[in-house]
Amino acid sequence: MFKKLFGKNKSEKIEVNQDWASFFCRIEDKPASIRLNLALHQVAPINGYYQQIWFSVKLLHPDENGFTTREEFETINAIEDTIFDNISTKHDVILAGAIKTDGRLDLYMYAPATDDIEKIVKDTMLQQFKEYRYAIDFKEDKEWNDYYNFLYPNPYEFQTIQNGKVIMQLREHGDNPEKKRKVDHWIYFKNNNEADVFIEAVIDLGYEILNKEKNEENEFQYSVNIAREDVTIPHEVNDYVWELMELANKSNGMYDGWGCPIAN
């Protein structure tokens, strides 16, 4: 995992992991793809990095969903990399996330100051990407509200990201996603009654109760391990995981992930 050092103040530096992830959602009722550094959640807001930089470039040939086409993908990536690299040559800057939606790419960055950044961006676009229309804006965001409240995924979107990571690991080991196998899940509850309500509901959905344990040292004392024969096709995984999350939420529980053997 790559790491980069950022100055927190004159006497202290913090280490930020690079844990980039993407997910799909809707923004103003339009399809959107958000890519962000999840690791910033551990350290943000970073002291001194209070100036938010917003850069937006209009795609020349978006597809029907407003995303980049294969033909334009490399150019848009080059614009993102070049803009960030050129700003970074003169400023300490953190790229928090990027959004593709409605035929444009938006970058969200944080820096201690924004002096001459507008000129850097203007010169870059004129010299290397003059056919593209762009916009840039700055604002103070001491609490990193746009990172937490706009870029950061909600619990269901976050779980989708985690689902994708598990699915990718399975594929790397030759898993056949269309083959059913026992997929088990872990859910935690604060009290026994809430755990039992959940158990009754998932039995009706065809789940087997593998285990139920109590650990008084944890706030969520009761752990429930369940399993069912399922495939690992991404959209189906999301469907049954979200269903379990909803049932857990109704019983004030916490869904904590899934696993399964590889099916060849």
Sign of torsion, CA 175 176 181 182? positive
Spatial CB neighbours of 246, under 8 Å, sequence gap ≥ 6: none
- pLDDT score of 14: 53
Res 10 pLDDT > 50: no
% of the chain residues with pLDDT over 70: 94
Whether 226 contacts 187, CB under 8 Å: yes
Q: How confident is the model at residue 13 (pLDDT cuts 50, 70, 90)?
A: very low
Beta bridge partners of 95: 109
Q: What is the mean pLDDT of residues 200-225?
A: 96
The tens digit of pLDDT for each residue in 33-45 reads: 999 999 999 999 9
Locate the domains of the chain by residue range.
3-151, 155-259
CATH code for the domain defined by 155-259: 3.30.70.970
Q: Two tokens at 26?
A: 């809707």
- Of the given ranges (4-13, 88-97, 153-162), which has the lowest mean pLDDT? 4-13
Res 219 pLDDT > 80: yes
Q: Over the chain, what is the mean pLDDT? A: 93
Res 255 pLDDT > 70: yes
Task: Reduce the DSSP state of residue 162 to 3 states and report it.
Answer: helix
State the fold for domain 3-151: Alpha-Beta Plaits (3.30.70)
Q: Same CATH fold, 155-259 and 3-151?
A: yes
Whether 153 contacts 97, CB under 8 Å: no
Q: What is the mean pLDDT of residues 77-99?
A: 96
Higher per-residue pLDDT: 7 or 24 = 24
- pLDDT score of 258: 98
- pLDDT score of 16: 72
Q: How confident is the model at residue 112 (pLDDT cuts 50, 70, 90)?
A: very high
Res 148 pLDDT > 70: yes
Q: What is the mean pLDDT of residues 223-244?
A: 97
- pLDDT score of 17: 82
